[in-house]
Structure 1
């Protein structure tokens, strides 16, 4: 099992290009099930999660071809026919977003059998809202032995779907299913994240009629079939925010390119409040810190455009050496402070009470062996290791490989002393 070692103390100076968004790419890949023509996705990240989903799509009848095209890294997905409507547990359990193949399978072929994704280390994240949306569209849902059996032999029907709480995954799933439904579907209390706008643009390029993504109401007029298309994946705002925090943590000056500054505005405001300099550019941001100690600031996670829960762990790492005490409230997922004990192994002063963590900044972190508990927590430990005295070794980094492309290379190009220690093989996920 691979590990990452970081020797702290080096400032970061240089340019980091931001990859395509993992959270968008995996839903766009699922959209390939909706058409018998090729879907070409450019600006595609190469990650464990995209690899997992590609393996599942291949089992369902999709050919998945990765290459370097004229627009950079691309993936071409082609499903002339659905050869199987069965998504087994051993594949779905590796990534929760795999469950979103259910809607497209039912929409195109009228039936599917997909494993429930199981538990999650950062909270329950049930799929009830996903299933309620499909039932509203006319699918018959049966749960048996850990699997969802969904049928709509006469096709899905347009409907009004009103979510009791905001859910990014359920909104995306409803959109993927409704584009081939007969009639008009209106999704109310929809999530407003940028990845939903990206999905809408891709689906519309394929011939769908979707409007309103990025607002609380999404309207979809179903069409009989979709065609192939070419679509560029939106820049990854979480990767962009992560490297912005890393630059503020280590000091120096880092330019983040191939990105959109408005996607991390809530983070940029907090970085400026803490004392870092953030310059918005046409294709990203420049983050600078001259070495002076940052100030503690409070934050609360919230749906977009609020502070992203996927950046909470990284910002907590930043606050471990800030001057003063910061309060961090997590409102999206329960049990998402599992990185706190690992940061404390590095000398951080953190106390957690329910959904709130108090971080009292210390003058110096000390390198130690730590363990990643989930995707975002893993990179928070890397960020802390950038300033810890001595060497920090992060184990279980298969979590990190799920969502960060070439992390050691990108940080190393800016002067970080970071290296991968190869293990004996791939972990069982």
Structure 2
């Protein structure tokens, strides 16, 4: 099992290239099932979740060719995937594949839309709360699917194909919006999704679907309208930059001090998080090249933040902000409104000496002058990177165990940080 060893105390200076967004790449890959022609995706990050989804799609008969960097291309441009779902040989997504990654459940939408049937295992656990699939099933039923749950599998049929419908989500759901959007592209008639999630990754998927011949308007707003078409064709699409990776490295720079260009980052994708960082004392400058983050001399100021759906402060940056606030001059308050159980990093941050008090869904963090290095354990994807951020400033050595969580969502984390002066290395046992 790999571990990451960090010796704290170095400022970060230089350039960190931002990878393609995991949360856009996964649904974009799944959208490849909607067409028998080839979908080419550029800037796909090399992550454990992407590799796992390639295995899942391969099980359905999808042919995926991965091209590395082209001659003369820069190191960090991600990979290019050629996804060809000409012949879908199997409409079952088995438990042993789906159980490892929740997003793989979404294959139910394109399989049902194109093949009129699907049998998909209920997704496996995720440490940060229940995240049920009931809203996804509700959306598919609205589109005319007949759905039964049997032996841990969702069995969906739409003998005459799906039909356009009005889908009103009782609460904002990113996965529900992705599923409804993909399923509706090939449905007969018009679908209107209200209370849709507005995340940039949904807009990115809709842009790609439109290039494939879909007729989607309103993505990125709470009301999305989809006019169904009979078939989609292939296209080429570049995955947008990862706003969570951007925010994570921005917080690492705010934590350690220094001056780093986050190359390729787009400020409009995470403005609320950048505003919070500015409040905390970081200097943020946007340019054509990306986002520059610096913290000179001044200490970290405390902030009060609640997580919220886009364009609010992302739940996926909550743990990283908490690590940053552990060294602020005063008391900070962070309220988590999206997921229950999303404070598992608190007890691990406490091992560094952080002073964090939980009351329901609000954490109060009393900043201290110095964190101390410690052996810690990654509990989920975003929490684990908060331990890395703490380790970058902690006195002495920090050992982060169970880093496979990190590999799910951060491409070449140690390389990117050590390239800017951090003392960080991966140890493979």
Q: Settle same-fold status: TM greater than 0.5.
A: yes
What's 2:6 paired with? 6
Matched, 1:36 2:36: yes
After superposition, residues 155-234 of structure 1 pair within 5 angstroms as 155-234=161-240
What's 2:320 paired with? 314
Tell me the secondary structure at the aligned position of residue 112 of structure 1.
strand
After superposition, residues 57-72 of structure 1 pair within 5 angstroms as 57-68=57-68, 70=70, 72=77
What's 2:157 paired with? 151
Consecutive unaligned residues in structure 2, runs of 5 or more: none
Q: Is the 8 A contact 2:217 2:224 kept in 1?
A: yes
Q: Distance in 2 between matches of 1:354 and 1:176?
A: 36
Q: TM-score, normalised by structure 2?
A: 0.98
Q: Distance in 1 between matches of 2:151 and 2:358?
A: 37
Shift of 1:69: 5.2
After superposition, residues 18-167 of structure 1 pair within 5 angstroms as 18-68=18-68, 70=70, 72=77, 73-167=79-173
Matched, 1:400 2:406: yes
Consecutive unaligned residues in structure 1, runs of 5 or more: 424-429
Q: Distance in 1 between matches of 2:129 and 2:363?
A: 17
Matched, 1:359 2:359: no
Paired residue total = 423
Q: Distance in 1 between matches of 2:314 and 2:288?
A: 22
Q: TM-score, normalised by structure 1?
A: 0.98
What does the per-residue CA deviation read over 1:249-293, in whole Å, with 9 as the maximum and x for residues that have no partner?
010000011121111211111111111111111232111111332
Select which of 369, 375, 383 maps to 1:369.
375
What's 2:341 paired with? 335
What's 1:15 paired with? 15
Q: Distance in 2 between matches of 1:283 and 1:338?
A: 35
What does the per-residue CA deviation read over 1:317-375, in whole Å, with 9 as the maximum and x for residues that have no partner?
00001000000000011110100100000100001111100000011100010000100
Q: Is the 8 A contact 2:172 2:196 kept in 1?
A: yes
Q: Distance in 1 between matches of 2:263 and 2:51?
A: 25
Tell me the secondary structure at the aligned position of residue 66 of structure 2.
strand
Tell me the secondary structure at the aligned position of residue 385 of structure 2.
helix
Q: Is the 8 A contact 1:41 1:233 kept in 2?
A: yes
Matched, 1:382 2:354: no
Q: Distance in 1 between matches of 2:261 and 2:126?
A: 34
Tell me the secondary structure at the aligned position of residue 253 of structure 1.
strand
Shift of 1:165: 0.1
What does the per-residue CA deviation read over 1:112-160, in whole Å, with 9 as the maximum and x for residues that have no partner?
1100003321111000000000000000000011100000111000000
Shift of 1:23: 0.3
Q: Distance in 1 between matches of 2:64 and 2:124?
A: 26
What's 1:426 paired with? none
Q: Distance in 2 between matches of 1:221 and 1:61?
A: 28
Give the aligned CA root-mean-square deviation in angstroms. Answer: 0.9
Q: Is the 8 A contact 1:260 1:283 kept in 2?
A: no
Shift of 1:65: 1.1
Q: Is the 8 A contact 2:116 2:157 kept in 1?
A: yes
Q: Is the 8 A contact 2:192 2:225 kept in 1?
A: yes
Q: Is the 8 A contact 2:100 2:124 kept in 1?
A: no
Q: Is the 8 A contact 1:261 1:281 kept in 2?
A: no
Shift of 1:206: 0.5
Tell me the secondary structure at the aligned position of residue 101 of structure 1.
helix
Select which of 419, 422, 429 maps to 1:416.
422
